[in-house]
A = this chain, B = another copy of it.
């Protein structure tokens, strides 16, 4: 609202809008199918795609009017759902309300850095306010939300956006965490002053009293397409911490770590009940993988997953090549949003918009995690001893794979 007179802001908004007249312009797969299918068919498709129990409709949550007003006034998508768990006889339900925020940048990347930083805080605040007004207990923002995703450029000037763990964006969120009694996960580009100004990709976990509970640094760094992130920071050194908050045990698997089943597994072995996956990923590269990996992690590890992806197309001042033989260009491609939750019982929520900022809220009873562990028994049938030995052998240079060759091939050779 505050930037209507700012030409730059309007330009950034245009980037985030759906291309007109194109089928690509639909807001989400769920809404496209809902608009195109008869209700009876849609329900059956939902049963399979969202993993709903047969006959049970998707359960939506009512949010207070103030959240709806903020959504209307600030033009962000607002969706709220509810996962189902069984009642237990010895434990009370442990229902927590969890939120995910996705957003485009606020100003063009050519704007003064200080203006960009201010504008992004201003842009995200109404969504955090809506979460607070909705009684969200735990909220997670997207990867490096306080800056453009500039790693495609390989220019080191963007390191100026890096902040210490207790820096500007953390302080901004600490106030809001206190105000709303809300745990907030703050994924930043970190500058580690005490270790020679090292750069990390870090999530800061802010407790509901505004205190910093701890940090986690991204474990797996991509070298694919325009994701030149290994140019900027290295593999994290914080292990796989689980943070015990007032609202459950949470962990953070940052972006590319979602492609690594072992990374998801380790958070599970440490007891996570909700794992957030703050990300930045673009259309052609990953959109079909996006719902698969998160849901698989939730199923295999008996925990909830909150997946967040940023929004829009970010155009940079200096063109760059992408290692694909194509001419230089100035943008990274379209960040398709589509933030969503997955549950341990293989169900999931519909996704937020592919084109607009958004806040996704879901109620989840954390008891469901143990219920699924008891039901499927993956932890007990996993034979971890086999795999500990296998991985120990594998990492040795002299590892030889277990291959049985058809003798007919050996005769030929």
What is the interface of chain A, defined by CB distance below 8 A to chain B? 23-24, 26, 29, 32-33, 36-38, 40-41, 43-45, 47-54, 205, 207-209, 211, 213-214, 219-224, 235, 239-246, 249, 256, 259-262, 264-266, 269-271, 283-284, 286-289, 292-293, 295-296, 299-300, 346-347, 375-378, 380-388, 390-392, 394-395, 401-409
Closest residue on chain B to residue A213 by CB atoms: B406
Partner of A376, one of B211, B259, B269: B259
Partner of A390, one of B244, B266, B289, B390: B266
A349-B384 Cα distance, complex, nearest whole Å: 32
Q: How many copies does the complex hold?
A: 2
Closest Cβ of chain B: how far from A370's Cβ, in Å? 15
Interface contact A244-B211, CB-CB below 8 Å: no
Q: A289 and B299 in contact (CB under 8 A), knowing A265-B262, A381-B220?
A: yes
Closest residue on chain B to residue A284 by CB atoms: B54
| Residue from the set A243, A283, A300 with the largest chain B CB neighbour count within 10 Å | A300
Interface contact A269-B390, CB-CB below 8 Å: yes
Partner of A41, one of B32, B221, B288, B295: B32
Chain B residues near A53: list those with CB within 8 A.
284
Chain B residues near A408: list those with CB within 8 A.
207-209, 211, 246
Closest Cβ of chain B: how far from A357's Cβ, in Å? 21
Partner of A292, one of B240, B249, B292: B292
Chain B residues near A32: list those with CB within 8 A.
41, 44-45
Partner of A45, one of B29, B243, B284: B29
- In the complex, 12 of the A-B residue pairs with CB atoms within 8 angstroms, ordered by the A residue number, are A33-B45, A36-B36, A207-B406, A211-B407, A223-B377, A244-B404, A244-B406, A262-B384, A270-B403, A271-B403, A292-B295, A296-B296
A174-B244 Cα distance, complex, nearest whole Å: 57
Interface contact B44-A23, CB-CB below 8 Å: yes
A24-B223 Cα distance, complex, nearest whole Å: 44
Interface contact B222-A377, CB-CB below 8 Å: yes
